[in-house]
Amino acid sequence: MSNIITLKNSREFGSVYSTKNSAANKYLIMYLRANSLEYNRIGISVSKKVGNSVVRHRVTRLIREAYRLNNNCLKDGYDIVFVARASAKGKNYHEIENAMMHLFQLRHLIKNS
């Protein structure tokens, strides 16, 4: 099981938001910032607009798992924040994963191998 390195505090999230480098689709918004490290860090934000705590935690787990399984095909050196939209409520893993991969393709984060 690979460890996922996460963004911890609001200052780290804020620095990613402030770059204004984002991509969005129906279910997710992805903010991106180069971090000059040899690994990626991820942050996940799911607001109360998505649903109650059970729904929000499920969406968070789906995003984290989709990232974990696809992390090895991504370029290194980025801070990534995913914000779930209200339409992500009730979606299955494959829909969330497809949305995430679409965002990675839009920002050319997938390795050419």
- Token pair belonging to 71: 């992390």
* pLDDT per residue as tens digits for the range 8-21: 999 999 999 998 89
Q: Minimal CA–CA distance to 30: which of 70, 67, 2?
A: 67
Categorize the per-residue pLDDT at 82 as very low, low, confident or very high, splitting at 50, 70 and 90.
Answer: very high
pLDDT range class, residue 1, cuts 50, 70, 90: very low
Q: Which domains does the chain have, with CATH numbers?
A: 10-106 (3.30.230.10)
Q: What's the pTM value of the predicted model, to 2 decimals?
A: 0.92
Helices (H), the chain: 10-18, 53-70, 93-106
Q: How many other CB atoms are found less than 10 A from the CB of residue 91?
A: 18
Per-residue pLDDT of 32-55, as tens digits, reads 999 989 999 999 999 999 999 999
